[in-house]
Every structure is written in structure tokens, then in C-alpha cells.
Amino acid sequence: MNLVVDVGNSFVKLAVFNADKLQERRVVELKKLLEAIALLKTEFPLLKNAIISSVGHLNINQIENIKKGFKLLVLDANTKLPFINSYTTPQTLGVDRIGLVCASVKQFSSKNVLIIDAGTCITYDFITKENKYLGGAISPGLSMRYKSLNNLTAKLPLLELTVPENIIGNSTANSIHSGVVNGVINEVDGIIVQYKTKFSDLTVILTGGDAKFLSKQLKSSIFANSNFLLEGLNYILQLNSDE
């Protein structure tokens, strides 16, 4: 059995896999990570291999503690991957983006795939049906846009994510909701259209914390999968455990 540890900017996602099947998924605070892993080890005594994907602040002591109980793989740019990486700066490619691309290779082989991860940032990653990763784009996510309007202006308030009632905001709050939400929706739909213009047989995957919210608003046809990154990380661990 495999343990997947996905360390994000705010929380840590933990997943237990038996081969390709997701058995358990939990979200914990970083400070409670070791305690949560110890509990999973008790509940799933057959856990043996583990992978860490960290875009957050996991320190060396935490990594060394996890190593004591697992055969551990720490994902980085030098990890063996199941695709051709044509990114011109592979050392700067985020491990979360690597995991997402690997999930697409596993589930949608021989297809042109655009993966959209709607989280703190919105990332776009494209891999061709020839299994070549070309890159994509990074833009601010919904929460970041709300926070930027508040942080970088003198009087605009910080609001919670809300579906705008109208394209025309009749108050400052409604104007912010219209600008942020419609801006993101039109961005995502527009980028999908641009990709489909070049690749007519495009498969689009939407994942990340805001995927459920956005999937209800988008015009484009997509596959929504909130566990896509975890599945991709498990695939990388399987690939490297075979050695």
C-alpha cells in the first residue's frame, strides 16, 4: 500500500492507495502532519511506500521522521517520470504540476490533454498525444484575486467567493464578485477555446480546490476530478517503486 503526501500552501492532503484504488483521503494542518501519518500507519499497517510532493514549507526534520516508517520518494525534477519534458526550465517546474501531468498520462494516454488546476493559482498544463509535455500558464486563483483587490487598494473590502447575481455589479461588493468570478470563468473558457482551436481532439481536466465551483459555471466540456493530483502522485510512486 502507498501513502501520498501532498503539501500545499495551507494544508496537507494525505491519501492511502491500494494499487490504483484510493482507500482513504484526509486533509490536515502542516503542524499535525506527523501525528496524522502515525495514525494512518496504525490504521493501515500494510503501508510501505510513500511519496512527498511539497510546494509548501516541509522541513528536513519532518522528512527524516517520515523516512523512519516508509520507503520514501521525495518528488523533484530528477524523479523518473512517464513523459517527455520539453519545459525549458525543468528545475523550476512545480511538483504539483508534474503530478497532474503524470495523472493525465496514466488516465488519458495517447490524447492531447489540458489540465487546469484551480487552487491558490490557476495552472494550465498541456501534454500532447505523443506524450510530450510542452508547458502551459499560471495565473492568480479566485482567492488570490479577492485578496489582491483588498491588499493593493485603500478601500476595497475582502469578500468571500460568491456567484455574482448579474454581470453588472450594482454595488462595490457586487462589482468585485462580477469582476473576479466572471474574469476567471471567461479566462478559463477562453483558454480552453484557444487550445481547442489548435488541438481539436482536446481532453480537458479540471481539478483543484475551486474545481467544483468553477465546473458549474464553465461553458466548456470538462472532466472534473478533485483527486487527480493524488492519483498522479501515486502513479509516480508506483513507477519508481518498480525499480
Over residues 61-89, the pLDDT tens digits come to 889 999 999 999 999 989 999 999 999 99
Out of 50-64, 73-87, 149-163, pick the least confident.
50-64
What's the average model confidence in pLDDT over 212-233?
92
For the annotated catalytic residues, the residue numbers are 96
What's the average model confidence in pLDDT over 167-184?
97
Q: Check pLDDT > 90 for residue 58.
A: no
The pLDDT assigned to 221 comes to 79
Q: Which of 20, 125, 119, 52 shows the shortest CA–CA distance to 83?
A: 125
* Digit-coded pLDDT (tens) for 4-18: 999 987 789 999 999
Amino acid occupying residue 23:
Q
Cell matching residue 191: 483558454
Residues in the chain: 243
Question: Exposed, middle or buried: residue 226 (CB in 10 Å: 0-12, 13-18, 19+)?
Answer: middle
Domains and CATH numbers, the chain: 2-74 (3.30.420.40), 84-232 (3.30.420.40)
* Digit-coded pLDDT (tens) for 95-128: 999 999 999 999 999 999 999 999 999 999 999 9
Q: Which of 70, 36, 25 shows the shortest CA–CA distance to 51?
A: 70
The pLDDT assigned to 59 comes to 84
